[in-house]
Structure 1
């Protein structure tokens, strides 16, 4: 189902839901009964951030052709561990 916009010449703009490709050129206004004509607008498309789209492409490529590794990845250097104040009250072994 898709939402289509119609503009009544007397009242307001209304939104009506129809199956895709079956929307008529005009519908009756629910308020006054006049013929509301269809308004064409840009589709509601969103742009995916480049980091997200790169991750999606990498996942799709990996599903079809998994990368073969010959060694384990390098470990990151361990930094200082943050200590939460509530952990100081826990019993020590």
Structure 2
């Protein structure tokens, strides 16, 4: 579904959703029911960071081809302590 903009004579600008490529030149306003002419505007394009797009591709791929885990992920050794000032006052085991 795509969102198309229409100019209603009473409600100003309204947005209506239609399947892609099926938007009529005029549509009835969802607010008042008046005939509204279609308004053309630039498409909304967004660039995503490489890490985000890689994560999205991996998630989409795992929907049909889940990754198989053969071992547990690595764990931090028990003696390792996070080097953050806020954790310095916490009791140690």
> How large is the Cα RMSD of the aligned pairs?
2.7
Structure 1 distance, partners of 2:31, 2:20, is 25
C-alpha displacement at 1:10, in angstroms?
Answer: 2.3
Structure 2 distance, partners of 1:37, 1:19, is 18
List gaps (5 residues or longer) in structure 2.
55-81
Q: Could you say which structure has the larger radius of gyration?
A: 1
Equivalent in the alignment of 2:19: 19
List gaps (5 residues or longer) in structure 1.
57-80
Equivalent in the alignment of 2:92: 90
* TM-score normalised according to structure 2 size: 0.54
Structure 1 distance, partners of 2:28, 2:9, is 11
The one-character-per-residue Cα deviations of 1:34-77 (angstroms, maximum 9, x if unpaired) are 2101111111101235xx28x95xxxxxxxxxxxxxxxxxxxxx
Query: Is 1:9 paired with 2:14?
Result: no
